[in-house]
Amino acid sequence: MNEIARHIENLLLEHKCVIVPHLGGFVTQYVSARCIEDEKLFLPPYRSVGFNPQLIVNDGLLVQSYMRVYDTSYTETIQMIEDAVFNLKTELQQNGCYELNGVGTLSLNIDGRYNFRPINSGILAPELFGLDAIPIQELKEKRVALRSQEATIPNKKNYTISINRELINYTAAAIIAIVCYFFVWGDSFILNNDSQPHQAAVVPLVEHIDKEVDVKVKDTLAHKQRKVTDLITVNKQVEEDHHQQATNVPTSYYTIVLASSVNKKNAKAFIKQLRSDGFQEGKILSKPKMNRVVYGKYATAQEAQKALTLHKQDSRFEQGWILQVPKLSNL
């Protein structure tokens, strides 16, 4: 009875979606690593699987798997799969649930709808094989020791004194000029008793030197201040332009995945049905060995999730999920 489960498990190793005709599709997704604080554990990433009863169009993967194993014709293989699905549904109606080994448990509720519970450990994923949970160890003792060491280190403060060398040079030159002039004037006073002309000549010279030094110092400081202001303005403008250019270049967008691993013919039929029901944004996202039926094109994951929630009332969107698509993808 679990023969069909073995085929599904093997196909999910290489494909993200496997459709069982007249039953539904099994879709995989990766779950990131997470931390459980109460149990003090880091859990590794794993590969989970979901079930979408709306994906009933045959994608050919299960048929090819049966044909390789049993070496049967296409017609015989289709009949074998239909018989297996019939037996599965019969057991569901009799027992209420059916366990797909290595995949999960399928059950039938009161309303006649399918409920699927994946296995807790996740399905097989070779790239995640061997990863196990990691316990978290507290470091309280090390933290206390670190604080005690920090308390013993004296708090030293370093002070920096800035000196304007040009201002000192101008001031020193002015003082030297004044001293030299007084020295010459003193000698002249000894030789000539008439001091009134000398005194009248000294005062204008001192005032002229002070004014010249003051003007040069102010001009130098103003020139430097203008250079610093211009440099800050240019740097700020460059940073704003760079930031604006970086924010204006989109690198990816988000879309809603409705079906995976379907051939072009079935995908076009699905999109035609969507558009006939008023959903005009259905498209085919093609990649090597993979065709997906997607809906919409959104700038952020929040916008895509909002649209998915809005359309959940339609059964074709119940098992939809969000996919981030690079800018260069062929959509």
Q: Are strands 134-135 and 114-118 parallel, antiparallel or unpaired?
A: unpaired
Q: What is the model's pLDDT at position 59?
A: 83
Q: What is the model's pLDDT at position 214?
A: 52
Nearest to 51 by CA among 260, 273, 304: 260
Domain boundaries, the chain: 3-140, 165-248, 252-326
Q: What is the model's pLDDT at position 213?
A: 45
205 and 184 Cβ atoms separated by less than 8 Å: no
Which residues of the chain are modeled with pLDDT < 50?
188-210, 213, 215, 217, 228, 234, 238, 246
* 0.85 surpassed by pTM: no
327 and 61 Cβ atoms separated by less than 8 Å: no
How many whole angstroms from its chain centre is CA 272? 34
Q: What is the model's pLDDT at position 102?
A: 85
First CA to last CA distance, the chain: 40
Q: Which residues of 127-142 are buried (b: 16+ CB within 10 A; e: fewer)?
A: eeeeeeeeeeeeeeee
Cα separation, 262 vs 282, whole angstroms: 14
* C-alpha dist (Å) from residue 35 to 119, 167, 232: 20, 62, 45
The enclosing H or E element of 287 equals strand 282-287
Q: What is the model's pLDDT at position 300?
A: 92
Q: What is the model's pLDDT at position 19?
A: 92
Cα separation, 225 vs 219, whole angstroms: 10
The enclosing H or E element of 176 equals helix 165-191
Give every CB contact of residue 79 below 8 A, 6+ residues apart in sequence.
Answer: none
* C-alpha dist (Å) from residue 9 to 5, 19, 159, 318: 6, 12, 70, 23
Residue 176 structure tokens: 């030297």
84 and 3 Cβ atoms separated by less than 8 Å: yes
User: Out of 3.30.70.1070, 3.40.50.720, 2.60.40.420, 2.60.40.790, which CATH number does the structure's domain 252-326 have?
Assistant: 3.30.70.1070
Q: What is the model's pLDDT at position 194?
A: 45
